[in-house]
């Protein structure tokens, strides 16, 4: 009987060791899955947050890239509310060209966002791909001109509000 008991004891120890190894291996596998870039990208799992961000990106891009030569001060004020300090400085150089040319050409530009795809959402930072079209009317032209753009838009949440941090055409 002692040999039988010893065999049962050894078998029990082996089962415990095998179970422990199995649990450790499973824990490591789960950790690897949750540590991937995709798993930390809330754009893939947070439907409400992604939808909200996409709406804010759409609104911001429409406002930033639309203007009327008769109301450029309002366009500049609206744009300043939408961006981070760094982006607002960057946008000011672009807007300087608009301030110079729009009154002279009597330009009215209407931007329409046709698609927003949130590429990455993690914490207070996000990236979206934006497809935008602009229609411009100018004095002396009966036909509006149109242009299309693809933009990679960086967003940063500040005090609970998403702000434009960067815009890069590609």
Give domain limits for the chain. Answer: 1-35, 46-169
Q: Is the pLDDT of residue 36 over 60?
A: no
Question: Angle 85-105/72-82 helices, nearest 10 degrees?
Answer: 160
User: Is the model more confident about 30 or about 168?
Assistant: 168
Mean pLDDT of all residues in 142-164: 95
Model pLDDT, residue 39: 64
pLDDT at site 42 = 75
pLDDT tops 90 at residue 48: no
Nearest of 127, 109, 121 to residue 170 by alpha carbon = 127
Segment 72-131, tens digit of pLDDT: 999 999 999 999 999 999 999 999 999 999 999 999 999 999 999 999 999 999 999 999
State phi, psi for 4 to the nearest 5 degrees: -65, -40
CATH number at 46-169 = 3.10.450.230
* The model scores a pTM over 0.85: no
């Amino acid at each position: 009987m002692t040999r039988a008991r010893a065999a049962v004891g050894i078998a029990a120890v082996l089962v415990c060791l095998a179970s422990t190894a199995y649990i450790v291996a499973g824990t490591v596998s789960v950790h690897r899955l949750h540590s991937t870039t995709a798993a930390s990208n809330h754009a893939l799992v947070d439907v409400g947050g992604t939808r909200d961000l996409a709406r804010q990106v759409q609104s911001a891009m429409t406002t930033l890239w639309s203007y009327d030569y008769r109301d450029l001060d309002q366009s500049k004020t609206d744009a300043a509310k939408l961006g981070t300090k760094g982006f607002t400085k960057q946008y000011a150089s672009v807007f300087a060209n608009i301030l110079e040319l729009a009154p002279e050409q009597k330009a009215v530009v209407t931007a329409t966002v046709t698609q927003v795809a949130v590429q990455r959402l993690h914490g207070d930072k996000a990236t979206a791909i934006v497809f935008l079209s602009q229609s411009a009317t100018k004095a002396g032209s009966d036909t509006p001109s149109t242009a299309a753009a693809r933009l990679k838009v960086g967003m940063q949440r500040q005090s609970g509000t998403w702000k434009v941090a960067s815009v890069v055409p590609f």
